[in-house]
Amino acid sequence: MSGRALWLAMVVMSAGLVRAQDWGIGPFTRPVSGNPVIAPRPQSTFEDPILHAPAHWEALHTFNPAAIVREGKVFVVYRAEDDSGAMQIGMHTSRLGLAESADGIHFTRRAEPVFFPAEDDQKAREWPGGVEDPRIVEREDGTYVLTYTQWNRETYSVGIASSKDLEHWTKHGPSFFAAAGGKYAQLKYKSAGIVTTLDAKKGRLIAAKINGKYWMYWGEGAIHLATSDDLIVWTPVEDKDGKPVELLKPRKGHFDSTFPETGPPPVLTDKGIVVLYNGKNADTGGDAKLGPSAYAAGEALFDANDPAHKIAQRDEPVLKPELPYEKTGQYAAGTTFAEGLVYFHGQWFLYYGCADSLVAVATAPAVVPGAEVSRGYYLHPNDTVVMYGDSITEQNFYNQWVELYTVTRFPQMRVHFFDAGVGGDRVTGGGGGTIDVRLPRDVFAEKPTVVTIMLGMNDGSYHAPVPEIEDKYTKGYEHILDSIHEHAPDARITLIGPSPYDDVTAAPGFPGGYNASLVRMAEIDQKLAQAHGATFVNFNSPVVEALGKAQAMDPAVARLLIPDRVHPEQLVHWVMAEALLKGWNAPALVSEVSIDAKSGHTAHSENATVSDWQADGATLRWTELEKGLPLPLLDNNAITKLLLQLTDMEQALNQEPMRVTGLAPGQYTLSIDGQRTGTFSAEELERGINLAAYNTPMRQQAQRVSWMVRDRDEAHYIHLRMQVRDADTGVGEGADRMQAFEDSLEDSIYAEAAPVPHHFELKPVPAQNAGASAQ
């Protein structure tokens, strides 16, 4: 058993399953009116390409719908059965229709099906049974990917198709056809939902990557798992015996006592992966509150970083057949068969099939996207941040440190960062092109949700404040802001007062010094921010303050902080990053845990979970999972030590307190994953120690992430330089490959930053060995 699997097992045994209301999406309620939202229309016909004759394609039943949000509307792709074949389940031909709604309840339908069996390379798999039971997701690039059941009345499989507009589709064949050298080519399998996440920028569900791959829950009878690099070609996840791993199985006495079956695309949340599924009740030995063979919808929770490991599962369904239209139709035992889930107008809309005959909808309240996971931070899940500026931004340090904080503190948010700094830039542009070249190429092309701008160092022309220069700066900046409002209207903007020209450690070149001009630029920035509804953060004053402190400590060292008086060294970029993070309301807390040694209870925990408490005499052990990582800052080198002396970085941004109360007097050695962290007195542990100040496994993980962030940012730097400096580099032809490389590096960053459980041991030091605290 893997370490993660063992940890999850211990959590379940020691703490019980997570309460459903802490993580679930449902239960759902039906709207007062409007259901069923889609019903058969016997008058609908279309010219069937195989029969070469009109078919009444939605004459008998319309049910089992997929759903997606597009252009501010809900689109439902539903299964429709014609009036051909024998009058029994599965013996009519199924095609897929398309309907759209502005309110999620009242739909307008296309006259003809948008997806159907045809004279194509999938005909042998899809005729005469048809195409059934769709689920649909949107890829990051706007492509829609459909999973559906191919049924020829002898065998069935999950087919994959893709579209840009929901009306014109490309079929890609069975999802597992090429997997494992054809091992699964003859497998009978159905029902597949691809994992999604709520994109804060787009306000809708998008296919999610976890550890660099897409994931799909699939199956009827048991629910299994598969992975993909492109959403088209899938490979089942296998157990140690080489069989598809079974994640959910029938449970005696429950609504899924006959079997579970995959429901709509699962949703990745800050609690884990919420998997809505359909359960069939047993004729005997099932849920006595449901009718025999009835289908109801349930929920399970899986680990956000390890989708094969179940954390929790509801015992009761979140939606079950209750109303006449849910228990009257071709499946009279009753179904609320969930297949379509969307986030729309601040709610979850769940679309389901009723008795294999109709489509209905139920809703549940939804948390505002990103509000809980971001803990008040300015950035949200899936934000794209472009940091625009001159050579100081081009140095790629303050922006890299902000990215490092965001990745390590919020690894589940998947924020994308792009440095767009070019040396010599002014508000009008510079060596990288005019501002009207720079903005579309280097900013708008990334489709930002957040833009930061720091300019001014070059705009002042290294003169004393001059009204003409200030007027030109103001007008140029207003043009930048107007362009952003026009071309990235939803982007949140932060204006940054420019970092200083060093008139602290060296004498000013003229009365008042050049930094006085930059202070005026910062004042202009602040007024523009107020006028344009932007955030303002000033780099100038905190850097000047840090220079003053350093000058008082050691003038020789202070002069090294901005050696050419313009371009700060890395330490000063940390000062700038801290200013921006404070301006963005960045939480100081990594995590906080307080444990009562006498009872073994977790008195308090924030952004962390504690499990598997053990007391072996006076030695205490527990497992802890922190949802973020500390910044990898230790005072074990001169530069970092000076940084911590010049700033309040540790207090303001790097708090990881651990408290243990109720200990007997004495000294205790703390080890994490078998690695000694330090020795502390009972009094120190009761007051609390800041783990971020020690070389813990969490800090070491953050250090590895920092190196990967550096590598990815350097790759983007090269990419941008190719675009800016040399039109003959071939960057146009190779842009897709460069972007794919950058994306792969980002995948690696978030895989490395993913939370992992750690094993803590607090062991008393024998009295004869106890001395002063060792750290």
* pLDDT value at 154 more than 80: yes
Split at pLDDT 50, 70, 90, the class of 143 is: very high
Query: In whole angstroms, how far apart are CA 607 and each of 244, 351, 589, 591, 627?
Result: 34, 33, 8, 5, 6
Mean pLDDT score of the chain: 92
* pLDDT value at 725 more than 70: no
* pLDDT value at 14 more than 80: no
User: Do 122 and 112 touch, CB atoms closer than 8 A?
Assistant: no
Split at pLDDT 50, 70, 90, the class of 610 is: confident
Report angle CA 338, 126, 192 to the nearest 5 degrees. 30
Split at pLDDT 50, 70, 90, the class of 363 is: very high
Q: In terms of Cα–Cα distance, which of 574, 451, 464 is closest to 518?
A: 464
* pLDDT value at 604 more than 90: no
Section 264-286 average pLDDT = 95
Beta strands in 347-425 (DSSP E): 347-354, 358-365, 384-389, 416-421
Q: How far is 716 from 735, CA to CA, in rounded Å? A: 11
Percent of the residues in the chain that have a pLDDT greater than 90, as a whole number? 79
Selection from 222-231, 339-348, 720-729 with the highest mean pLDDT:
222-231
pLDDT at 732: 64
Section 131-139 average pLDDT = 98
User: Do 161 and 171 touch, CB atoms closer than 8 A?
Assistant: yes
Output DSSP code: residue 326.
Answer: G
- Cβ burial of 2 (10 Å; 0-12, 13-18, 19+) is exposed
Query: Which of the following CATH numbers is that of domain 3-365: 3.30.70.260, 3.40.50.2300, 3.40.30.10, 2.115.10.20?
Result: 2.115.10.20
* pLDDT value at 176 more than 70: yes
Neighbouring C-beta atoms of residue 384, cutoff 10 Å? 17
* pLDDT value at 3 more than 50: no
**Beta pairing class for 169-174 and 156-163:** antiparallel
Q: First vs last Cα of the chain: how many Å apart?
A: 34
Output DSSP code: residue 238.
Answer: B
- State pLDDT tens for residues 576-597: 999 999 999 999 999 999 999 9
Q: Which residue has the higher pLDDT, 724 or 533?
A: 533
pLDDT at 18: 35
Percent of the residues in the chain that have a pLDDT greater than 70, as a whole number? 94
pLDDT at 4: 34
CA 68 vs. chain centroid, Å, equals 18
Handedness of CA 405, 408, 409, 415 (dihedral sign): positive
* pLDDT value at 201 more than 80: no
At 470, the amino acid letter reads E
Q: How far is 40 from 42, CA to CA, in rounded Å? A: 6
Split at pLDDT 50, 70, 90, the class of 726 is: low
Handedness of CA 365, 369, 372, 373 (dihedral sign): positive
Section 682-694 average pLDDT = 97
The two three-digit tokens of residue 338, written as one number: 């969930």
Q: How far is 310 from 301, CA to CA, in rounded Å? A: 6
Selection from 13-27, 460-474, 607-621 with the highest mean pLDDT:
460-474
* pLDDT value at 436 more than 50: yes
Q: How far is 384 from 420, CA to CA, in rounded Å? A: 13
Length of the chain measured in residues: 775
Split at pLDDT 50, 70, 90, the class of 722 is: confident
Section 117-142 average pLDDT = 98
Domain map (residue ranges) of the chain: 3-365, 384-577, 588-775
* pLDDT value at 263 more than 60: yes
pLDDT at 79: 99
The verdict on whether omega for the bond into residue 65 sits within 30 degrees of 0, i.e. cis, is no
Q: How far is 351 from 335, CA to CA, in rounded Å? A: 12
Lowest mean pLDDT among 49-53, 335-339, 745-749: 745-749
* pLDDT value at 200 more than 70: no
Section 60-80 average pLDDT = 96
- State pLDDT tens for residues 370-422: 556 778 899 998 899 999 999 999 999 999 999 999 999 998 888 999 999 99
pLDDT at 737: 80
Q: How far is 256 from 249, CA to CA, in rounded Å? A: 8
- State pLDDT tens for residues 655-675: 999 999 999 999 999 999 999
Architecture of domain 384-577 in this structure: 3-Layer(aba) Sandwich (3.40)
